[in-house]
Structure 1
Amino acid sequence: MTASQQPVQKKKVSFSNLLLGAGLNMCEVSTLGQPLEVVKTTMAANRNATFMQAIKHVWSRGGVFGFYQGLIPWAWIEASTKGAVLLFVSSEVENRLRSVGFSNFSSGILGGVSGGVVQAYATMGFCTCMKTVEITRQKTVASGVAPQSSWSVFKTIYKNEGIRGINKGVNAVAIRQMTNWGSRFGFSRLVEQGIRNVTGKTNPEDKLTAIEKITASAIGGGISAWNQPIEVIRVEMQSKKSDPNRPKNLTVGTTFKYIYNTNGLKGLYRGVTPRIGLGVWQTVFMVGFGDMARDFVGKLTGENPVAKH
């Protein structure tokens, strides 16, 4: 019986697996993840800056600590919650679609899309917005008055603009996440199937090696960078960078038009290099290190945590 003919068996999502996912996400973002995120956001907000100019700009905002702007608490809140949401929703949708005859490729895409959308609206909206605010807001000391703390900025935005203010750009985040995870899951599944065909691992129980899984996930992650324009749009909608020419009450459409008119097609792809680097780091960390962590947790608890790569 071939892999496509095998009955679909839903894998158990355990509590230990959710804790493992949160822990891995926290470690990933606290190492190279946030510095790459900061550089990517800086380039998207300052679209005339080169990669090296963006690094110098970030360094000027606090040295090494400048690369960790927005880490505490926003990136930590996001990292500790988004994995559980993505895992639950994408696993449920993917397994249900496969059970009614969808291919691994199509069910992977639709599972990723569904997980990404729910992830954006449930956990990532205000975290992504506040990270961008922290990275792009003015922090220089004026007249001896220290800049507001991150929490004070959050309270000010909430007081003046309410829920919409702290979730500014959430629709762009949702579009980014659905296209992100749709691409990652779908193309990762496609590459995995190709690897299985080449290596003869046609039985679903045949495990791919760490290198094979990292390769499949890295290709899927790299391809997902095609949606960089929506990431630049998201940053512009959430940015606190002073720009008198920026239109009021931005939507995804008006922001796209503004960026294209001022910076052209090239402006819509600013920050794609550090974003690809971020995707590679996330892949190596979550798949490579994740496998070792999953094996450890499996031996410790007697459970076999689900790998969602």
Structure 2
Amino acid sequence: MAIAVSSPPSTLGSAPTKKKVNFANLGVGAAMNMFEVTTLGQPFEVIKTHLAANRQDNMITAFKKIYQRGGISGFYQGLIPWAWIEASTKGAVLIFAASEIEYLALGSGVSPFAAGLVGGMGGGLAQAYTTMGFCTFMKTVEITRHKAVGGAAQKSTFAVANEIFKREGIRGINKGVNAVAVRQCTNWGSRLGLSRLAEETIRKVRGIESSTPLNAYEKIAASAIGGGLSIWNQPIEVIRVEMQSQLKTAGRPEKMTIANCARWIWQTNGLKGFYRGSVPRFGLGMWQTICMVAGGDALKNYVNNRFK
């Protein structure tokens, strides 16, 4: 989800410089997102999703159960093909939407923080409704569905997807997409906005001119701060996971909405249930934002300079 966004104006009142959205930048977004999810991203995602769906488990129990399901590969459940399909598409969508919205916001005279916030929110909504609904649902299905043991035949992930589609249609395979949209909107609004705010704070503390680029360590620090602080919306993520979970529990509503799902979590786990999986999501948020904001900006600049 590398974000090719407009640079904040170098001086107050000056017009922002629009960064051209081209195929090279779209490729950077896909490449950085593939790198992020294939390295630490998917293990964080699996642990986070397990804890959100199995809210009675602690971190140690989650590690044990995930490892028992498939060893090291258990931490990469849902990576192929769903996470790869999602990663190779949603970055490009986020780049286009966030860059255009942030450019317009900066042009209206708002601060880099506000422009980043609005751009991230718009980009998050765009990627949720265009590319993420089905893939996010199927990743959650893979992590939470019952796995065959012993010599029993294991249904392929495509067979499961086909069964859900036949049974529930297009709405079934996009179950929880509204919760995904709320999550992505608040995720990237927070990550991009707070990262830009952290960059501005670093500039003020270190006395760096607005026209001088931050170095790699400063960009990484700003991105880590923005990504880590974005976990404030964990209750939305727990609701999303519960709506898409394949676990069967007595009393669980058959047709989940955001409202009745929230009531179910409250009734079964209380307030703490909404914050299950916060620790791995903190790590995931930091890693994603470092890759997509700091790493994405660096790779984008290299590609644009190399092939301009």
* Mapped partners of 1:209, 1:95: distance in 2: 23
* Unmatched runs of 5 consecutive residues or more in structure 2: 1-8
* Mapped partners of 2:53, 2:61: distance in 1: 13
Query: Is the contact between residue 21 and residue 83 of structure 1 (CA under 8 Å) also seen in structure 2?
Result: yes
* Mapped partners of 1:171, 1:294: distance in 2: 31
* Mapped partners of 2:91, 2:283: distance in 1: 20
Q: Measure how far apart 1:244 and its partner are.
A: 2.0
Q: Which of 228, 253, 258 pairs up with 2:259?
A: 253
Partner of 2:65: 57
Query: Is the contact between residue 3 and residue 202 of structure 1 (CA under 8 Å) also seen in structure 2?
Result: no
- Greater shift, 103-112 or 46-55, is seen at 103-112
CA gap of 1:93–1:299, structure 2 versus 1, over 3 A, is closer
Show the 5 A alignment for 1:119-134: 119-134=127-142
The reply to whether residue 237 of structure 1 matches residue 233 of structure 2 is: no
* Unmatched runs of 5 consecutive residues or more in structure 1: 303-309
Show the 5 A alignment for 1:48-87: 48-87=56-95
SS at match of 1:78: helix
Aligned residue type for 2:16: V
| Aligned residue-pair number | 300
* Mapped partners of 1:13, 1:150: distance in 2: 35
Q: Measure how far apart 1:42 and its partner are.
A: 0.3
Q: Measure how far apart 1:219 and its partner are.
A: 1.1
Aligned residue type for 1:150: T
> Normalised by the size of structure 2, how large is the TM-score?
0.92
| Alignment RMSD (CA, Å) | 1.7
Query: Is the contact between residue 210 and residue 287 of structure 1 (CA under 8 Å) also seen in structure 2?
Result: no
Aligned residue type for 1:241: L
Query: Is the contact between residue 226 and residue 286 of structure 2 (CA under 8 Å) also seen in structure 1?
Result: no
CA gap of 1:2–1:293, structure 2 versus 1, over 3 A, is closer
Partner of 1:270: 276
> Normalised by the size of structure 1, how large is the TM-score?
0.92
Partner of 2:3: none
Q: Measure how far apart 1:45 and its partner are.
A: 0.4
Q: Measure how far apart 1:218 and its partner are.
A: 1.1
The reply to whether residue 198 of structure 1 matches residue 219 of structure 2 is: no
* Mapped partners of 1:137, 1:32: distance in 2: 22
Q: Measure how far apart 1:221 and its partner are.
A: 0.9
SS at match of 2:47: helix
Q: Which of 149, 153, 170 pairs up with 1:146?
A: 153
Show the 5 A alignment for 1:1-309: 3-141=11-149, 144-203=151-210, 205-287=211-293, 289-290=295-296, 293-294=299-300, 296-302=302-308
Query: Is the contact between residue 210 and residue 291 of structure 1 (CA under 8 Å) also seen in structure 2?
Result: no
Query: Is the contact between residue 232 and residue 269 of structure 1 (CA under 8 Å) also seen in structure 2?
Result: yes
CA gap of 1:96–1:52, structure 2 versus 1, over 3 A, is same
